[in-house]
Amino acid sequence: QVYCLEHRSYIKHQCTKADKRDVTVVICPLCAKGVRLVPDQDPNITWENHVNTECDPSNYEKVTKKKKCPVPGCREILVFSNTIKCRDCTVDHCLKHRYGPDHKCPGPKNLQTSFSFMNILNGSKEGSKPKSSSSASSKWTTSFLNTASNIRASAEAGVSKLSGEVNQAWQTARGAVTIDVCPKCSRGFRDPVSLVEHVERDHGGSSRA
């Protein structure tokens, strides 16, 4: 049936078929998962099927256990708005203990590099002959500087090109406007609410094509 905006819901016009389209979900106390009650079916049967097939009690602790700040004595529960990851120890803390001295941060790990650029230079100078060491070192240094200069120029060109493409895409995205089209008459609407009111008013309340 076709109703006005005021009586379009199931409850307002006392729909006789509302139970078949109504969605009711019950949280399982054993696994903390949502169980959807099937219309025209005994809830006991639905519950028994859930317990025998997909109920996992080990999932209850994962869902209900709340993450807390690891600082001893702190009972602050970590959520999206008050969680800070320490950049040195990479551990989540609350806002009160976000700084290193507050949570006794051990600091970042020492990076040990197996490649030593200065050792190679020193070894090449010691192993070469006294007469040819200066010329060989000069040629090697010149070649290294030229290669580094070419790599830097290529990187700067790539960054400049990427920056131009990002700016162009941003300008295009700023000028774009999202328009919703009516599935009945292909009329465009910028506001989704206006589209719903148009479909209910002019096309009998059905938004299906």
Cβ atoms of 133 and 113 closer than 8 Å:
no
What CA–CA distance (Å, rounded) separates 205 from 5? 9
Q: What is the pLDDT of residues 114-155, one digit of tens each?
A: 445 555 555 555 554 544 555 666 777 777 787 877 888 888
In this structure, the answer to whether residues 83 and 52 fall within a common structural domain is no
Residue 4 pLDDT class (50, 70, 90 cuts): very high
Q: How far is CA 149 from CA 135, 155, 158, 160, 163, in A?
A: 21, 10, 14, 17, 21
* Residues of the domain holding 44: 25-64
pTM: 0.29
Q: Which of residues 48, 76, 109 is at a domain's end?
A: 109
Judged by DSSP in three states, 144 sits in: helix
In the chain, pLDDT over 90 holds for what percent of residues? Answer: 7
Tell me the per-residue pLDDT of 74-91, one tens digit each, with 9 for 90 and over. 988 888 888 999 988 889
**Structure confidence by residue, pLDDT tens digits, 144-192:** 787 877 888 888 887 877 877 777 776 666 555 567 778 878 787 778 8
In a domain, 124, yes or no: no
Does 171 map to a domain? no
Show the CA angle centred on residue 23, arms to residues 21 and 28, nearest 5°: 150
User: Hunting for tokens 């230079």 — which residue is that?
Assistant: 121
